[in-house]
């Protein structure tokens, strides 16, 4: 140490030579030193990449917005880069005038931009019975949060003269080969929150995320956010399509399946320190994480470092938005002894994120969807952090 740090004493090449010209990367890319941060498929989880999921690396992200290139992907039958000049949106069913919109037609309409999370109902789905995966990327990485731009679906239905009295449901259909069709209750559309979106984080949607058009259904599980949206039908009852009658159902402890559970309940997770990371030494750490609720705003997050015996209130960083990710932070001085880190979120309805014990009492252990239990990360004396379950 007496000799000084050469990294500060000697001028590096980037201080003594010309840098690269502008537009060397016409569409900017992250630093080559950040290449490790990527969407990743969970090895062995699915058999073919066309019907699979790539998880967002939550452990390396800050704030509330997911960079578009790291937004998680879930496809039932692969993705296409759809030619927008050939894409159409059809409106039919209980409307006065059936209509077919081109992308140009849609992009002329009044638009709004809103920040919302999208979480696959299957997020954390492998953890119902016991610990299944090592990192937060795989345990919680089926959530992303973006600014979406588009037209409220209500505006488009108004233009077509939708019969809101009889037409209490809409069916949304995607243009891919998976025949993805989902029923959306009309109340959600009447609230003005459901968007027919073409923009994400200030640019057009990425092909993997539904370019050129997808449905945005704030607070509702990702499967209803139909990508490559090609048709909206107004009807008087739910359609009971394959992806709502057979898939995306919850097996309850009494052996019955629950259908149409679509709202993503309040949930949170600590993203640093988290599974697979290493604390270098005892001393100060910033514990950081994400909280969200499909029912509105997050009002409070408490953090425990002793497995749920004592809790301290975390700082909620602005902005705190409805049905969006909220970033929380809290100071922690690690004494070098074993610790268990947990976060517990509360939303504006007063709902408190449950422990695994509380959730399993109601839901059992055989579900896939809607696991919003408190996540625990164990820190051992070596500084290694791993995934554990605490009831
Ligand atoms: N829409 C279509 N047309 N096809 C699909 O396979 N997958 C759904 C939904 N919309 C899907 C779809 C599922 S299950 C989820 S979780 C979200 O899209 C994922 O959106 P993302 O890939 O943009 O993250």
Domain ranges in the chain with CATH number 3.90.420.10: 84-258
The CATH T-level fold of domain 267-388 is: Immunoglobulin-like (2.60.40)
Name the 3-class secondary structure at 377: strand
Distance CA(135)–CA(37), nearest Å, equals: 13
Whether the per-residue pLDDT at 1 is higher than 60: the answer is no
Q: Which two tokens stand for residue 76?
A: 């039932």
Ligand 1 atom showing the smallest separation from residue 222 Cα: 16
Helix residue ranges, H only, 210-330: 242-245
Give, using CA atoms, the residue closest to atom 11 of ligand 1.
75
Question: 290: helix, coil or strand?
Answer: strand
Distance 72 CA to ligand 1 centre (A): 10
Residue 157, phi then psi, degrees to nearest 5: -65, -35
CA geometry: angle 296, 299, 304, nearest 5 deg: 125
CA dist 144 and 327 (Å) reads 13
Name beta bridge partners: 54. 41, 73
Segment 169-179 shows an average pLDDT of 96
Asked whether 205 lines ligand 1 (CB < 6 A), one says no
pLDDT at 2: 65
Read off the DSSP letter of residue 86: G
Task: Please choose from 39, 69, 75, 370 the residue to mutate so as to test ligand 1's pocket, defined by most ligand atoms within 8 A of CB.
Answer: 75
In tens, the pLDDT along 342-381 reads: 999 999 999 999 999 999 999 999 999 999 999 999 999 9
Homologous superfamily of 84-258 in CATH?
A: Oxidoreductase, molybdopterin-binding domain (3.90.420.10)
pLDDT band at 44 (very low <50, low <70, confident <90, very high): confident
pLDDT on residue 91? 98
Ligand 1 atom closest to the CA of 210, numbered from 1? 23
Decide whether any atom of ligand 1 lies within 6 Å of the 176 Cβ. yes
Largest CA distance in the chain: 82
Q: Is 105 helix (H, G, I), strand (E, B) or coil?
A: helix
* Confidence grade of residue 118 (pLDDT, cut at 50, 70, 90): very high
- Check pocket membership of 121 for ligand 1, CB cut-off 6 A: no
- The 10s digit of each residue's pLDDT in 88-116 is 999 999 999 999 999 999 999 999 999 99
Which residues of the chain form CATH 2.60.40.650? Answer: 267-388
Helix (H, G, I), strand (E, B) or coil at 44: coil
pLDDT band of residue 273 (cuts 50, 70, 90) is very high
Asked if residues 327 and 374 have their Cβ atoms less than 8 Å apart, the reply is: no
- Give the three-state DSSP class for 362: helix
Atom index in ligand 1 nearest the CA of residue 51 equals 6
Specify the 3-state DSSP secondary structure of 126.
helix
Mean pLDDT of the chain: 97
Q: What is the pLDDT of residues 215-263, one digit of tens each?
A: 999 999 999 999 999 999 999 999 999 999 999 999 999 999 999 999 9
Provide the β-strand partners of residue 149.
Answer: 113, 199
CA separation for the pair 31, 90 (Å, rounded)? 42
Distance CA 293, CA 267 (A): 6
Ligand 1, pocket-test mutation among 175, 178, 225, 241, most atoms within 8 A of CB: 225
Place of tokens 């709502």: 244
Query: Ligand 1: does its nearest atom lie under 6 Å from the Cβ of 300?
Result: no
Q: Which atom of ligand 1 is nearest to the CA of 208?
A: 22
């Amino acid at each position: 140490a007496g000799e000084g740090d050469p990294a500060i004493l000697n001028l590096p090449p980037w201080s003594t030579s010309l840098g690269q010209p502008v537009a060397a990367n016409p569409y900017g890319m992250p630093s080559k030193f950040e290449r490790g941060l990527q969407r990743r498929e969970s090895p062995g989880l699915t058999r073919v990449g066309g019907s699979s999921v790539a998880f967002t690396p939550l452990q390396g992200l800050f704030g509330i917005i997911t960079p578009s290139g790291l937004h998680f992907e879930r496809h039932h039958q692969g993705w296409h880069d759809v030619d927008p000049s050939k894409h159409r949106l059809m409106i039919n069913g209980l409307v006065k005038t059936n209509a077919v919109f081109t992308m140009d037609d849609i992009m002329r309409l009044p638009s709004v931009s809103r920040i919302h999370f999208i979480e696959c109902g299957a997020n954390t789905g492998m953890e119902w019975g016991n610990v299944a995966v090592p990192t937060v990327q795989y345990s919680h990485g089926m959530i992303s949060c973006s600014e979406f731009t588009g037209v409220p679906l209500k505006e488009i239905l108004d233009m077509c003269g939708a019969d809101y009295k009889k037409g209490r449901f809409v069916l949304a259909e995607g243009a891919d080969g998976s025949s993805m069709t989902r029923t959306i209750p009309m109340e959600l559309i009447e609230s003005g929150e459901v968007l027919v979106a073409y923009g994400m984080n200030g640019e057009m949607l990425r092909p993997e995320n539904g370019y050129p058009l997808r449905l945005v259904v704030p607070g509702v599980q990702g499967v209803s956010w139909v990508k490559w949206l090609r048709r909206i039908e107004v009807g008087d009852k739910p359609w009971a399509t394959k992806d709502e009658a057979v898939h995306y159902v919850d097996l309850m402890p009494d052996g019955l399946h629950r259908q149409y559970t679509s709202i993503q309940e309040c949930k949170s997770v600590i993203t640093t320190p988290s599974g697979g990371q290493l604390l270098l030494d005892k001393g100060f750490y910033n514990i950081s994480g994400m909280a969200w609720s499909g029912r509105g705003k997050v009002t409070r997050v408490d953090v425990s470092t002793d497995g749920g015996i004592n809790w301290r209130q975390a700082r909620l960083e602005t902005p705190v938005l409805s049905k969006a990710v909220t970033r929380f932070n809290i100071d922690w001085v690690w004494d070098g002894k074993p610790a268990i880190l947990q976060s517990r979120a509360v939303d504006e309805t007063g709902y408190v994120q449950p422990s695994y014990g509380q959730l399993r009492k109601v839901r059992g252990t055989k579900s896939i969807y809607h696991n919003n239990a408190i996540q625990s990360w164990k820190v051992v004396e070596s500084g290694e952090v791993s995934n554990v379950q605490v009831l």
